[in-house]
Chains A and B, each alone.
Chain A
Amino acid sequence: MQTSLNYILNEGLSLGLIQIDMNYNIVSINSFVKRHLKRDWKGLIGQNIFKMFPDICSRKKESYIHKVIEDGQANILSPFIHKYIIPFDIVKKNIVLPMMQETRIYPLHEDSIQTGALIIIRDMTEQILNENEIASLNMDLNAIRKVNQLIVKADGREELLNGVCSILINETDSLLVWIAELSDFGDIFVPIICKGEQSEIFMESVSSQPYLMPGLDITRHVIKTGEMAVSFRLENDPEFEKWWGFCKDIACQSTLALPVKCQGKVEYILHIHRHEEKSISQEILDLFSELANDISFCLDQFYNKEVRLEAEAILRTEKERLRITLRGIGDGVIATDKYGSVVLLNKVAEELTGWTEEEATGRHIGEVFHIINEYTRKPCFSPVQNVLKTGSIIGLANHTTLIARDGVERIIADSGAPIRDDYGQIIGVVLVFRDITQQSKMEKEMLKMQRLESIGLLAGGIAHDFNNILSVITGNISFAMTRWPNDAELQEVFSDVEAATHRAKDLTHQLLTFAKGGAPIKKIISIDGIIRESAKFVARGSNVRIIFNEPVDLKSTSADQGQISQVIQNLVLNAVQAMPEGGEISIDTANIEVQEEDGMPIKPGSYIKITIQDNGMGISSKHMEKIFDPFFTTKQKGSGLGLATAFSIVKRHQGHISVKSIQGEVTTFEVYLPSVEEMASDIIQKEINSHQGKGKILVMDDEEPLCKLLDRMLQKLGYNAHFANNGQEAIIKYQEEFNRNSPYDLVILDLTVPGGMGGKEAIKHLKEIDPNVKAVVSSGYSNDPVMANYLDYGFSGVMPKPVSMTEIVHLLKSILEQ
């Protein structure tokens, strides 16, 4: 029993047994101890344990054996605290390690007397290595877990990289952790973060070696291969020889260099300095490799985020620029998505549609952009649908009217184009449109004016020829009447024909005035009085009340007083006739400034606006276009020349006349005449006061009061006036004075003298007497062709009746001072 027990204890245990006596001499050892000895075991027996294993005393572990021998007290020595008691070596893969031991020392007794002690050695090296590895793995795993937590919450590279270094230093068995950043060109790397107790030493080494490149060969290796590099100081690997030379002051035994990539390109190199002298388990290396991949993944996320943010910023800038551009341009712009929902509306579009961008966004285009045909009033086919269907740029049909949210209608010109994405797919439609209402109106006005001009030319031509024909008829009738003076019946027929030809002649005269005659004899006048008198004159006898509304500072205008009076008379007459049952006519005058953008067919500038409004029957829309056409009339007895003449007169004054009407309710005529800054009254007084002439003037007129008036006026102005009742008398008087070699300085001839020679005839004779005669034609009929074209008839000037002092002054100055 004892023999077999001894055998088991000697050979069968994986424990080391050393028996010592009370003198610390070795009594026996078992096979486990023998096999771990570096020397021959036989020499140990009987020898003092402390002498055989001096390491025990040098490591101050002898007291634990002493206590057992001296106090009989058992002891347990753990490997973590003591490492080992008896120095044994373990060789693992050519690496020599000290055996880590749990040692128990028990007293040995024989018959209750202690005879020595038994040292039991349990090899825990493998256990400790495994535990250390597991602990290390646990720490590294924990570090990775924390790095992953950091990856989730880190906001940027700096926070991430700093955090990674701190975690690796605090949570793993690493001595120094630092990161080098690679330059954009990949040839320079600079340590940017360093953590650990030796970080100062390391950074000193870095700063003292400006040319790091050759020294950091492990870093270059990682950059070159893109793979992790591991080196151990003791390996003396020539590849990383310079590295360990560089790290001579850093207390580490191994270095891991890991590539940290962004978008597959090495950007940083993570260096981890470790204490492992000869090997680092593959599991740990894999974990660090995984860690580097995790950091790289995070950098990719940052990069993607940066790219995305950059793209978003560019997009925002572009969008803002586009928004500002769109809001700044003069055309309305509406963009929709491919379903026709509004996504953008610029400022002009807001104004034209009446929808704000905020309100319109998301609504269907048809709701916001409501268009109809100007004439048919039927909805237009959706331009958005058209673009989406055809995929091409389209223009709107003519006469498209946009109805704004508030019901205001505007004629628009528009085009639509598809919006395509990078792949050419249509993702929406953009509509660009502009308000051409004014333009359209102007075009219509221009067309109307051109038409009237053409009609005028035609009418003038016809009137001229017709006048010649009438002259032949009139002449021959006169001849016929003298041929058969005693045939009463024939005379009556001839008289009727003659009367008819006179009426026809009057008509041709009017037509000629409309067409080409009647050039305005302009002077600066205040028109408020003219308007009042002309309007009252026409309305006299009717049951129409006229309400005048005029500003006190109404400007003057340069106009032909007689013609303007005729315009007012024609317009008021039209209004009176529109209200057979009576009513009110309001006549408003105002100073206005016409701007370019008002879109009126007149030059921008200061104008007097005369608004004549009646509340009669109105004008139907179908008649509106033709209302200024000659011979267009809705009245049974009308000539159709009243409004045409008014239009013609205003146009010759560089003015404009327009009409608006709501049938059955109201008609409004607006007359624009250019205004002048100078006040007519000032000019009058100035001219009167300043003019002082001399010479003699012959006045031919059959009306005595007028002759007296002219006598007073001319005398006041320094002239000597002579008078004649008709043309014959005037010729005689002129001849007499001419013969006396003192001809009249000026002759004023009345155009028409009932029963006598008028001015038109008299001038011919006066010209025969004196080709240089200066004569002025005077008449109350300002639209008489002779008055308008007085030069053609040999006159030097024209004096419309009634005449004012200013007009006389003006006339005399213009003729006599030439």
Chain B
Amino acid sequence: MTDKIEDDKLDERSFDIIKEVINMGLGEAADALSQLVNARVIIKVPDVHIMDIKKAKTYIKNEVENLGIYIAQDFTGIIEGKTLLFYTQECGISLLNTIYGDKKKVQGITETGISTLNEIGNIIMVSYISAISNFIDGKIKFSIPNVSLEVSTLYFENLLNEMEELDKAIVVKNEMSIKSENIQGYLFVLLSFKNFLVVVKNLQKRVLGK
């Protein structure tokens, strides 16, 4: 077995394990958010992909026309890597208006809105990593989240370039709704790991006892 796993070589069972872990993470995220906004929050995951970082760049470009807000965070410990969460503009505005209610509808993303989206994004991102972390029974330390309103495509591409040193990434497409209202657009969480094989092995070991 090489140090790296190709897409087609990741067995189905391992993929299922990852998806299951992700689902657990989003469950925790939904619970945390429901408490936070004092309303029922539902997060659906229509797509989970495991791909090379390079391919992830293309995938994101194809999926998203305009980037909105993103939050990046490094983590270290038994597994190391970088998470990246970003909202599309539509999703960000829609999410904020759902939380704010009818009385304070916004047309754009303000400073307060960025702050709110960051808090939500941080909860989701941390929930996913914590779910993985819990499974592999290893302590993970989080760096300071890097939060920014996307102003330059170049800036975002450079950020993605920084991730090229990493191995594989789990790209999660999330669809969130609050108070049963549909939210336009999606938020994406990209979990990239320095050594994806370690993650997979740890997960297999924990789940399958191998």
Residues of A within 8 A of B (CB): 71-81, 102, 104, 106-107, 109, 112, 124, 127-128, 131-132, 135, 138-139, 170, 173
Contact = CB atoms under 8 A, between A and B. Distances in A.
B126 to A, nearest CB: 6
A80 B142 contact: no
B111 A127 contact: yes
A127 B112 contact: yes
A796 to B, nearest CB: 124
A40 B105 CA distance: 41
Contact of B141 (A72, A81, A124, A131): A72
Contacts of B118: 76, 78
Contact of B103 (A74, A75, A131, A173): A173
B115 A132 contact: no
A131 B144 contact: no
B107 interface: yes
Nearest to B141: A72
A135 B104 contact: yes
23 contacts: A73-B130, A74-B73, A74-B126, A74-B143, A74-B145, A75-B122, A76-B118, A76-B147, A77-B119, A78-B115, A78-B118, A80-B112, A80-B113, A80-B116, A102-B115, A104-B145, A124-B111, A127-B111, A132-B104, A135-B106, A139-B103, A139-B104, A170-B102
B123 to A, nearest CB: 9
Nearest to B111: A127
B122 A81 contact: no
Interface string B44-70: 000000000000000000000000000
A73 B119 CA distance: 13
Nearest to A109: B141
A76 B130 contact: no
Contacts of B141: 72, 107, 109, 112
B104 A78 contact: no
A176 to B, nearest CB: 14
Nearest to A132: B104
Interface residues of B, number: 29
B111 A74 contact: no
A567 to B, nearest CB: 108
Contacts of B142: 72-74, 107
The binding surface of chain B is classed by DSSP as helix
Contact of A106 (B102, B104, B144): B144
A112 B102 CA distance: 47
Given A81-B37, A107-B141, A109-B141, A76 B115 contact: yes
B128 to A, nearest CB: 12
B115 A80 contact: yes
Contacts of B119: 76-78, 81
Given A79-B115, A127-B110, A135-B105, 18 more contacts: A72-B141, A72-B142, A74-B143, A75-B122, A76-B147, A78-B115, A79-B112, A80-B100, A102-B115, A106-B144, A109-B141, A124-B112, A124-B115, A131-B110, A135-B104, A139-B103, A170-B102, A173-B103
B112 A78 contact: yes
B36 interface: yes
A275 to B, nearest CB: 10
Interface-centre pick from A106, A107, A128, A135 (highest chain B CB count, 10 A): A135
A288 to B, nearest CB: 17
Interface in B89-120: 99-100, 102-107, 110-113, 115-116, 118-119
Nearest to B102: A170
Contacts of B139: 72
Contacts of A170: 102
Nearest to A82: B119
A173 B104 CA distance: 8
Which 9 A-B residue pairings sit nearest by Cβ, starting from the closest? A78-B115, A78-B116, A78-B119, A102-B115, A76-B119, A80-B116, A76-B122, A76-B118, A131-B110
B112 A76 contact: no
A582 B139 CA distance: 150
Interface string B133-166: 0000001011111010000000000000000000
A166 to B, nearest CB: 14
A229 to B, nearest CB: 25
B186 to A, nearest CB: 21
Contact of B126 (A73, A78, A135, A138): A73
A80 B126 contact: no
A74 B112 contact: no
Nearest to B122: A76
Nearest to A120: B144
A79 B106 CA distance: 16
A595 to B, nearest CB: 85
Contacts of B147: 76
Nearest to A170: B102
A39 B117 CA distance: 34
A80 B38 CA distance: 13
Contacts of A104: 145
A766 B10 CA distance: 173
Contacts of A107: 141-142
Contacts of A81: 36-37, 99, 116, 119
Contacts of A79: 112, 115
A255 to B, nearest CB: 19
B107 A76 contact: no
B33 to A, nearest CB: 10
A106 B107 CA distance: 32
Interface-centre pick from B119, B141, B145, B147 (highest chain A CB count, 10 A): B119
Nearest to B36: A81
Contacts of B144: 74, 106
A643 B37 CA distance: 124
B116 to A, nearest CB: 4
A635 to B, nearest CB: 115
